[in-house]
Amino acid sequence: MPISNYIIFCLALFTIGIVGVLVRRNAIIVFMCIELMLNAVNLLLVAFSKMHNGVAYLTDKSTIVGADAQVFVFFIMVVAAAEVSVGLAIIVMMYRNTKSIDINFLNRLKN
């Protein structure tokens, strides 16, 4: 599979995430679009790791070139999980204070 197919597919997913962050006003949906962008980047990292591995695979069948990228994707998932737990706690706290999760009402950090 040509790598440009993967790049274009991930760009489409990333752009959908950006449009979601720009357009939607529900804070939870904005958060979900950020998750979508993270996943697009993860898939692109894995595709690039397989691209570099494919070059080395021609000469050595047991090569592990490119395994670093998959470990990197694993760390991105770890950080995303931590981020989601704290971010959702902040959203719940804001909802408790203002009874709304519309980000146009929440554009001030104070009051």
Partner 1 sequence: MNLIQILFWLLSGLAIVSALMVLISKNPVHSVLWLIVVFFAISGHYILLNAQFLAIVNLIVYAGAIMVLFLFVIMLMNLGKESDPQKNVWIKLAGAISGGSLLIVLVSLVKQASEINDKEALLGNGNIGLIGTLGKVLFTDFVVPFEISSVLFLSAMVGAVVIGKK
Identity of the residue, 99 or 108, whose beta carbon is nearer to partner 1 in the bound complex: 99
CB of 48 to partner 1, least distance (A): 8
Identity of the residue, 54 or 108, whose beta carbon is nearer to partner 1 in the bound complex: 54
CB of 17 to partner 1, least distance (A): 8
Identity of the residue, 61 or 108, whose beta carbon is nearer to partner 1 in the bound complex: 61
Buried b (16+ CB within 10 A) or exposed e, 64-101: eebeebeeebeeeeeeeeeeeeeeeeebeebeeeeeeb
CB of 47 to partner 1, least distance (A): 5
Identity of the residue, 85 or 111, whose beta carbon is nearer to partner 1 in the bound complex: 85
CB of 87 to partner 1, least distance (A): 9
- Interatomic CA distance for residues 60 and 51, integer angstroms: 15
Q: What is the dihedral of CA 53, 9, 85, 49, to 10 degrees?
A: 10
